[in-house]
Structure 1
Amino acid sequence: MKHVLVAGATGYLGQYLVKELKNKGFWVRVLIRKESQKSLFEQVDDFYVGEITKPESIQDLTQNIDWVISTIGITRQKDGLTYMDVDYQGNANLLALAKKDKVEKFQYISALNGDRLKHLKIFEAKEKFVDELKQSGLSYSIVRPCGFFSDMKDFLDMAKSGRVYLFGDGNLKMNPIHGEDLAKVCLQLIQGENKESTVGGPDIFTQNDIATLALQAWGNPIKISHLPDAIRKLTIWLLRTFTSSKTYGPFEFFLTAMALDNVADVYGDHQLEIYFNNNTYNS
């Protein structure tokens, strides 16, 4: 039986990973920051309380571990920590432990197009770690998901008011994936050869398609406004010029990603329409 450490287990994907690993009969250790987070999990073999950015608190985290899966990363910077502190250095701390304890395989969850977007603060840190992992000598798996269903709730929240705003013509494409489907794919990939894999959901949508599904979920008429792309570019420039990376980082990422096709290899069977319909609520 393989012993697996999940770092970032309390996040959206991390919780699905723990469930999938236990369903398949693996022994699982999860890294948590505080004791109260134990309540997030039903079946875990070992809890380890520590902070990835504080090496002294995780010195024996990877002892007796065969595989490490890391979803460690921050979308919105908090606690005074930067992307470089968490997405790079936190994962680098974990990698150093994995090398010391001769872990068999290290899987890291990055993001689609991260290697093309290193000029963004969030990807500067993620891709610096990807490069370090590749050169570490450890067997590795790098997973690049297109985007989570949970990320698409931004469309759903906007649609509640009765209108969705998009930059450009709305014809750029993406295939977001449900966390449960992605967890299954991650487990398949970690058992394969060293490689980077793009992972998306079963359906490829335009941004207009997703906006339409979101409006329909609320029972609203289809009202989509297309804004000039120049506004998106100006917004990024203003944020970079007049705010700190702590403020502009997530907006820079979102606004840049929305100007690219984000289509990954197709997996899974969860439907975005059903996810939207299950996440509407009465206000």
Structure 2
Amino acid sequence: MTDNNKRVLLAGATGYLGRYLLKELKKQGYWVRVLIRSEIQRHHVPLADEVFIGEITDPGTLRGIAESIDVVISTIGITRQKDGLTYMDVDYQGNMNLLHEARSTSVNYFQYISAINGDKRRHLKIFQAKESFVDQLKTSGIDYTIMRPNGFFSDMHDFLEMAGSGRVYLFGKGDKKLNPIDGKDLASVCVSKIGGREKECIVGGPDILSQREIAVLALKALDKKIKIVHLPDFLRKAIIILLRTLTSSQIYGPYEFFLTAMAKDNIAPQYGMYHLEDFFQEQSH
């Protein structure tokens, strides 16, 4: 049963997962303060009990953000680089700024959203930052849970975009499997883990699918013929090398992550009730 007296600080409330987390927290009876960057974003968080305006990369604007807070949940991180900020600026230092505020107040639990296998892929720029923060959180003295979700349904939209052109391109055989999860399901799992004993929680959706099966679902959702082009895997490796050589981490980071993840199975414990097939059908109409 939820302790309705707990006060939660949610950082990243305007993002994909953050929006679902805010709804789920309120549904479960929590009092919620959210961090937003500017007054303009206030209309994105109508359910929040309190709004705190600050910039995650500027510690001076965060002073007092964790006052009277029991629980911090952070989904802070950048997928697409912008504003000239790097992963270390946001995923590491931004969360460190939040942790510093949490340690100086009454916060007794911190939940951080990383990603599946992040601890095993520290050589990737995105995880170098995320896992450096995880290391700091683990030694902070605050109780914590590291959430490690599989891909989101929203990440699978790339398959729909390819399907819209009439064919989907896959590297290799397309037999690598994953079980992406819907934001609503993931939010429910995250809230259920608040204050629990589980220090690291790997989370996936209910359906384990190969990349080829996902491609077929996307094509069917758009009433397209099943046309899947299999590219040799050496092209995937070559693209990563080229991007690392010719571009900055601000550009190649997301592609490095995506292309690396595609080369292996990413199967997580199954949670939730929302199915990728239904998501594709909704998005295609």
Query: Could you tell me the TM-score, scaled by structure 1's length?
Result: 0.98
Equivalent AA in structure 2 for residue 136 of structure 1? S
1:3-82 maps to which residues of 2 (within 5 A)? 3-82=7-86
Counterparts of residues 1-283 of structure 1 (less than 5 Å): 1-281=5-285
Please, which runs of 5 or more residues in structure 2 have no aligned partner? none
Query: Shift in Å at residue 42 of structure 1?
Result: 2.8
Instruction: List per-residue Cα deviations over 1:14-63 (Å, max 9, x = no partner).
Output: 00000000011110000000111111123110000000100000100000
CA distance in 1, matches of 2:74, 2:208: 27
Q: How many residues align?
A: 281
1:191: how far off?
2.8
Contact conserved, 2:13 with 2:45, CA < 8 A, in 1?
A: no
Residues 145, 199 of structure 1: 8 Å contact kept = yes
Distance 2:7 2:181 in 1: 27
Structure 2 Cα separation of the partners of residues 78 and 6 of structure 1:
22
- TM-aligned CA deviation for residue 161 of structure 1: 0.7
Identity %: 62
For 2:146, give the aligned amino acid: I
Q: Distance in 1 between matches of 2:111 and 2:123?
A: 24
Deviations 1:152-194 (CA, angstroms, capped at 9, x unpaired): 0010111011100000101100000000000000011123114
Query: Which runs of 4 or more aligned residues in structure 1 lie more than 4 Å from their structure 2 counterparts after TM superposition?
Result: none
Separation in 1, partners of 2:90, 2:8: 21
Question: Using the alignment, how far apart are the partners of 1:141 and 1:183 within structure 2?
Answer: 14
Deviation at 1:233, TM superposition (A): 0.2
Partner Cα distance (1:279, 1:46) in 2: 32
**Preserved CA contact (<8 Å) 1:139 1:194:** no
Once residues 81 and 45 of structure 2 are traced to their aligned partners in structure 1, the CA distance between those partners, rounded to angstroms, is: 25
Residues 40-98 of structure 1, C-alpha deviations (whole Å, 9 max, x = no match)? 12311000000010000010000000000000000111111100000000001100111
Aligned-pair CA distance for 1:267:
0.3
Distance 1:145 1:115 in 2: 13
Distance 1:22 1:250 in 2: 32
169-178 or 33-42, which deviates more:
33-42
Matched to 2:126, the amino acid is: I
Is the contact made by 2:68 and 2:106 (CA closer than 8 Å) also made in structure 1? no
**Aligned partners of 1:199 and 1:265 also within 8 Å:** yes
Q: Distance in 2 between matches of 1:60 and 1:80?
A: 27
2:236 & 2:27 partners in 1: Cα distance? 44
